[in-house]
């Protein structure tokens, strides 16, 4: 979604003339629940926020069909419609929402610099990063074919739709175990598709999975493809003991296919300035959205490796805007 930082010394694309530079009070990078909520609060605080939406306006929720666990939508709502509602509310209070991708950042000075599409330079007194995280996929074509029709990267988000049905979870780490255990409380049968003959998860999580009656671990299996009519998953084709003696093709009947092989936070362009963990999630001071750089705040999935929900992202978006408003107030007092 956001271009990695090129750390080599090079000239900017074209010359940076006055017309290429814009000074703003509050810059929001990225959209989605966190970004749009930050925009609502920042706009209401008269910070005149400018938001650049990135390549996927609305974030991961735009790839979700039904959202039934967000307060205020008693009948449920589709992800794209929900994000359009968020955007309209942000614009109603004066947020300047723009199309564009952040491609470079420089937080070394008092004024924070962010380049958009390698051309326009935004100089911001405060920056709110809401660039999210991208779920990792296997890379098979059927993941795209059945997107919204049985393929998901969030059991907590979509598991409700598979009550009493059979599903599969891909992965062998703690996240996969957590997803499988969550789904086991909703679904009739949960298959765990594990490439190796052991789980990478912690011993406690692994034991919980093994003791759950309706979870079946398919050791040394890899996904070859999915199948089903009318764009809806009806089963998966697996390969057991791939490239080994006894290799065979296996088919399982499932209604849902959940990826649990990790997420990659969209934080590459900030890594030379902001502290992050080994995966790339931006570190914030506990209980706040503050990063190690004064005036730079992070919210949503780019700093949350645990919950990754729309409602928690929105909450941290609120925090970021309030932290930014307090920062600017103290700075300019």
Active site residue 177: no
Phi, psi dihedral angles at 320 (to 5 degrees): -65, -45
Please name which of 115, 95, 1, 81 lies closest in space to residue 39, comparing C-alpha atoms: 95
Active site residue 26: no
CA separation for the pair 53, 30 (Å, rounded): 5
Instruction: Choose the catalytic residue: 26, 157, 299, 318.
Output: 157
Instruction: Choose the catalytic residue: 158, 301, 304, 323.
Output: 158
CA separation for the pair 72, 40 (Å, rounded): 17
CA separation for the pair 166, 51 (Å, rounded): 41
Active site residue 106: no
CA separation for the pair 47, 37 (Å, rounded): 14
CA separation for the pair 49, 171 (Å, rounded): 40
Instruction: Choose the catalytic residue: 26, 142, 154, 187.
Output: 154
Q: Name residues whose C-beta falls within 8 Å of residue 131's C-beta, 6 or more positions apart in sequence.
A: 1, 2, 29, 30, 54, 102, 265, 266, 267, 300, 302
Q: Name residues whose C-beta falls within 8 Å of residue 225's C-beta, 6 or more positions apart in sequence.
A: 140, 141, 142, 236, 237
**DSSP for residue 218:** E
Catalytic residues: 154, 157-158
């Amino acid at each position: 979604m956001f271009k990695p930082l090129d750390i080599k010394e090079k000239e900017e694309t074209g010359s940076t003339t006055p017309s290429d530079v814009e000074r703003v009070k509050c810059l929001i990078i990225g959209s989605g629940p966190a970004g749009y909520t930050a925009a609502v609060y920042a706009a209401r605080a008269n910070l005149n926020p400018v938001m650049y939406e990135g390549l996927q306006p609305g974030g991961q929720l735009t790839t979700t069909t039904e959202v039934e666990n967000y307060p205020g939508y008693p009948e449920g709502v589709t992800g794209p419609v929900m994000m359009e509602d968020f955007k309209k509310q942000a614009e109603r209070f004066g947020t300047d929402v723009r199309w564009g991708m952040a491609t470079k950042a420089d937080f070394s000075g008092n004024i924070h610099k962010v380049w958009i599409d390698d051309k326009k330079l935004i100089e911001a007194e405060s920056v709110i990063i809401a660039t999210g995280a991208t779920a990792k996929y296997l890379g098979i074509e059927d993941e795209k074919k059945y997107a919204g029709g049985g393929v998901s990267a969030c059991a907590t988000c979509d598991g409700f739709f598979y009550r009493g049905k059979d599903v599969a979870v891909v992965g062998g780490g703690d996240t996969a175990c957590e997803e499988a255990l969550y789904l086991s409380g909703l679904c009739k049968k949960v298959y765990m598709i594990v490439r190796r003959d052991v789980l990478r998860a912690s011993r406690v999580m692994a034991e919980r999975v093994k003791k759950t009656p309706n979870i079946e671990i398919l050791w040394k299996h890899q996904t070859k493809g999915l199948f089903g009519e009318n764009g809806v998953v009806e089963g998966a084709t697996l390969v057991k003991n791939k490239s080994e003696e006894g290799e065979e093709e296996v088919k399982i009947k499932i209604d849902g296919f959940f990826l649990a092989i990790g997420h990659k936070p969209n934080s590459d362009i900030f890594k030379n300035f902001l502290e992050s963990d080994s995966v790339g999630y931006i570190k914030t001071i506990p209980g706040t959205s503050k990063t190690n750089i004064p005036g730079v705040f992070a919210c949503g999935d780019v700093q949350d490796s645990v919950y990754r929900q729309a409602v928690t992202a929105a909450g941290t978006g609120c925090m970021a805007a309030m932290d930014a408003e307090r920062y600017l107030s103290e700075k300019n007092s």
